Chain A
Amino acid sequence: MNALELISLNKSFGAQKALDDICLSVPTGSRTVIVGPSGSGKTTLLRMIAGFEFPDAGSLTLNGQVLVDSTHAVPAYQRQIGYVPQDGALFPHMTVAANIGFGLALTGTAREERIKALMDSVSLDANMANRWPHELSGGQQQRVSLARALAQQPRLMLLDEPFSALDTGLRSAMRKMVARLLEDAGVTTILVTHDQGEALSFADQLAVMRGGRLVQSGHPMDLYRYPDDEQTAHFLGEAVVMPARIESGLAHCDLGPVPVNSNGFSGNAQIMLRPEQLQLSGAVAGNHGCPAVVTERDFAGNTCTLTVELRSPVSQDLGRSLLVRSSGMHAPPPGSDVQLSVLGAAHVFAVS
Chain B
Amino acid sequence: MLPETLPAQVAAASSASLRLKPRALTGRGGSWVVALAVGVSLLSLLPIAFVLGVSWATGWATIEALVFRPRVAELLINTVLLVLITLPLCILLGTALAWLTERTNLPGRRLWSLLAVAPLAVPAFVHSYAWVSLIPSIHGLPAGVLVSVIAYFPFLYLPVAATLRRLDPAIEDVAESLGLKPWAVFFRVVLPQLRLAICGGALLVGLHLLAEYGLYAMIRFDTFTTAIFDQFKSTFNGPAANMLAGVLALCCLAMLTVESAARGKARYARVGSGSAREQRTVLLSRGTVMLGLGLQGLTCLLALGVPLLTLGRWLIAGGVEVWGGGELLPALLQTLSFGVAGALLTSLAAIPIAWLSIRAPGKLQRLLEGCNYITSSLPGIVVALALVTVTIHFARPIYQTTLTVLLAYLLMFLPRALVSLRAGFAQAPVELENIAQSLGRSPLRALWLITLRLAAPGAAAGAALVFLAITNELTATLLLAPNGTRTLATGFWAMTSEIDYAAAAPYALLMVLLSLPLTALLYHQSRRTAGR
Give the B-binding residues of A (Cβ under 8 A).
Answer: 47, 50-52, 75-93, 102-103, 132-134, 138, 141, 145, 148-149, 151-152, 158, 165
Range, interface on chain B: 20 to 34
Q: How far is B171's CA from A108's CA once the two chains are assembled, in angstroms?
A: 26
Quick check: B272 and A89 within 8 Å, CB to CB? Answer: yes
Quick check: A88 and B272 within 8 Å, CB to CB? Answer: yes
Q: Hey, which chain A residues are within 8 Å of B48, CB to CB?
A: none
Beta-carbon nearest neighbor of B189 in chain A: A91
Q: How far is the CB of A16 from chain B (nearest CB, A)?
A: 14
Quick check: B179 and A87 within 8 Å, CB to CB? Answer: no
Quick check: A102 and B271 within 8 Å, CB to CB? Answer: no
Does B269 have its Cβ within 8 Å of any Cβ on chain A?
A: yes
Does B173 have its Cβ within 8 Å of any Cβ on chain A?
A: yes
Q: How far is B145's CA from A305's CA once the two chains are assembled, in angstroms?
A: 77
Beta-carbon nearest neighbor of A160 in chain B: B170
| Of listed B179, B180, B181, residue having the most chain A CB within 10 A | B179
Q: Hey, which chain B residues are within 8 Å of A91, CB to CB?
A: 171, 175, 189, 192
Does B21 have its Cβ within 8 Å of any Cβ on chain A?
A: no
Q: How far is the CB of B1 from chain A (nearest CB, A)?
A: 31
Beta-carbon nearest neighbor of B182 in chain A: A77
Q: Hey, which chain B residues are within 8 Å of A133, CB to CB?
A: 271
Contact flag A92-B174 (CB < 8 Å), given A77-B179, A77-B181: no
Q: How far is B270's CA from A132's CA once the two chains are assembled, in angstroms?
A: 13
Quick check: A92 and B178 within 8 Å, CB to CB? Answer: no
Quick check: B176 and A92 within 8 Å, CB to CB? Answer: no
A-B interface, 8 closest residue pairs, ranked by CB to CB distance from nearest? A87-B272, A103-B178, A89-B170, A83-B177, A85-B170, A93-B192, A76-B176, A89-B171
Q: How far is B280's CA from A133's CA once the two chains are assembled, in angstroms?
A: 23
Beta-carbon nearest neighbor of B171 in chain A: A89
| 27 intermolecular pairs with C-beta atoms under 8 Å apart | A50-B173, A75-B176, A76-B173, A76-B177, A77-B177, A77-B178, A77-B180, A77-B185, A80-B179, A83-B173, A83-B174, A84-B174, A86-B170, A86-B275, A87-B272, A89-B174, A89-B272, A90-B171, A90-B271, A92-B267, A93-B266, A103-B178, A132-B266, A133-B271, A145-B174, A152-B178, A158-B177
Q: How far is B179's CA from A152's CA once the two chains are assembled, in angstroms?
A: 9
For the complex, would chain B's binding face be called helix, strand, loop or mixed by DSSP majority? loop
Contact flag A148-B171 (CB < 8 Å), given A87-B274, A141-B271: no
Q: Hey, which chain A residues are within 8 Å of B274, CB to CB?
A: 86-87, 89
Quick check: A132 and B267 within 8 Å, CB to CB? Answer: yes
Q: How far is B179's CA from A132's CA once the two chains are assembled, in angstroms?
A: 23
Q: How far is the CB of B421 from chain A (nearest CB, A)?
A: 28
Residue from the list B173, B182, B280 in contact with A89, Cβ < 8 A: B173
Q: How far is B272's CA from A165's CA once the two chains are assembled, in angstroms?
A: 8
Q: Hey, which chain B residues are within 8 Å of A132, CB to CB?
A: 266-267
Quick check: B177 and A134 within 8 Å, CB to CB? Answer: no
Q: Hey, which chain B residues are within 8 Å of A158, CB to CB?
A: 177
Q: How far is the CB of B219 from chain A (nearest CB, A)?
A: 39
| Of listed B170, B177, B268, B280, residue having the most chain A CB within 10 A | B177
| Of listed B173, B178, B185, B195, residue having the most chain A CB within 10 A | B178
Considering the complex, which residues of chain B in the window 155-191 have a beta carbon less than 8 Å from any beta carbon of chain A?
A: 168, 170-171, 173-182, 185, 189
Q: How far is B266's CA from A185's CA once the two chains are assembled, in angstroms?
A: 33
Q: How far is the CB of A165 from chain B (nearest CB, A)?
A: 6
Q: Hey, which chain A residues are within 8 Å of B519, CB to CB?
A: none
Q: How far is the CB of B481 from chain A (nearest CB, A)?
A: 47
Considering the complex, which residues of chain B in the window 174-222 have a beta carbon less than 8 Å from any beta carbon of chain A?
A: 174-182, 185, 189, 192-193, 195
Does B273 have its Cβ within 8 Å of any Cβ on chain A?
A: yes
A82-B177, A89-B168, A89-B174 given; 7 more Cβ-contact pairs under 8 Å:
A47-B173, A76-B177, A89-B171, A89-B274, A92-B266, A134-B269, A165-B272
Q: How far is the CB of B180 from chain A (nearest CB, A)?
A: 6
Residue from the list A51, A102, A134, A138 in contact with B178, Cβ < 8 A: A102
Q: How far is B178's CA from A102's CA once the two chains are assembled, in angstroms?
A: 8
Q: How far is B361's CA from A153's CA once the two chains are assembled, in angstroms?
A: 48
Beta-carbon nearest neighbor of A79 in chain B: B177
Q: Hey, which chain B residues are within 8 Å of A165, CB to CB?
A: 272-273
Q: How far is the CB of B262 from chain A (nearest CB, A)?
A: 13
Q: How far is B178's CA from A80's CA once the two chains are assembled, in angstroms?
A: 7
Q: How far is the CB of A136 from chain B (nearest CB, A)?
A: 8
Q: How far is the CB of B384 from chain A (nearest CB, A)?
A: 41
Quick check: B176 and A51 within 8 Å, CB to CB? Answer: yes
Contact flag A50-B272 (CB < 8 Å), given A86-B170, A89-B170, A93-B266: no
Q: How far is B173's CA from A81's CA once the two chains are assembled, in angstroms?
A: 11
Quick check: A138 and B272 within 8 Å, CB to CB? Answer: yes
Considering the complex, which residues of chain B in the window 234-284 have a beta carbon less than 8 Å from any beta carbon of chain A?
A: 266-275, 280
